Homo-oligomer: A and B are copies of this chain.
């Protein structure tokens, strides 16, 4: 029974964790390892590539493969739609569009997205509910040149979040979490005191060509962001 790449991966990880391959040290090259473990170099390559992506190894052409001294492990955060987030907790999801108007984008959002003052934009405020209770308040600016159809879209069945995910191709973005006291305008909708500590998410989304949207999400008190290594 030959070794699969997952077996090679597990064995290599064992040696790293057991300090047989100490931090900072180079490990044998792919050909030797393949020889030792009795598999093809391609198999070893895939296993080590996987460990490198997970942050255990540093690989450079010719320089070889080394065990990372300070393993900067990567946590993966699956970014779900708010609907999925709520429904995964077994609660019913709903949303209400509180305000929506076409206007010119404020300087802060323009700076984040790199858009022009004259670009048409739309401002949408939405409240997300879980089992009827406020879950998050969203303050969103949509860059209309990057989101054809949004200006005319009804947001009754699809939330702005969902509409954009389904209709606006997006390729990259940034997420920026912080803690703050609930701003007055959000606290009113979230049904919480305005001095409650809340998580605030600033998110920018870009399509392959142009900016899509800048959002500030203010989560209700008690929200937690969970992820795994």
Task: Identify the A interface with B (CB < 8 A).
Answer: 13-14, 16-19, 23, 55, 69-81, 84, 162, 165-166, 169, 171-181, 195, 197-200, 207-208, 221-229
Contacts and interface: CB of A to CB of B under 8 A. Distances in A.
Given A177-B177, A226-B175, A79 B75 contact: yes
A76 B70 CA distance: 18
**A80, A175, A200: residue with the most chain B Cβ atoms closer than 10 Å:** A175
Contact of A72 (B16, B80, B166, B175): B80
B174 A229 contact: yes
A163 to B, nearest CB: 12
A173 B78 CA distance: 16
A207 B17 contact: yes
Contacts of A23: 166
Contacts of A174: 226-229
A60 B229 CA distance: 24
13 contacts: A16-B169, A23-B166, A70-B84, A72-B79, A74-B76, A75-B76, A76-B77, A77-B227, A173-B229, A175-B229, A176-B224, A177-B177, A179-B200
Given A179-B197, A179-B223, 12 more contacts: A70-B162, A71-B165, A75-B79, A77-B77, A172-B228, A172-B229, A175-B228, A175-B229, A176-B226, A177-B177, A179-B180, A179-B221
Contacts of A13: 171
From A84, A195, A199, A200, residue with most partner B Cβ within 10 Å:
A199
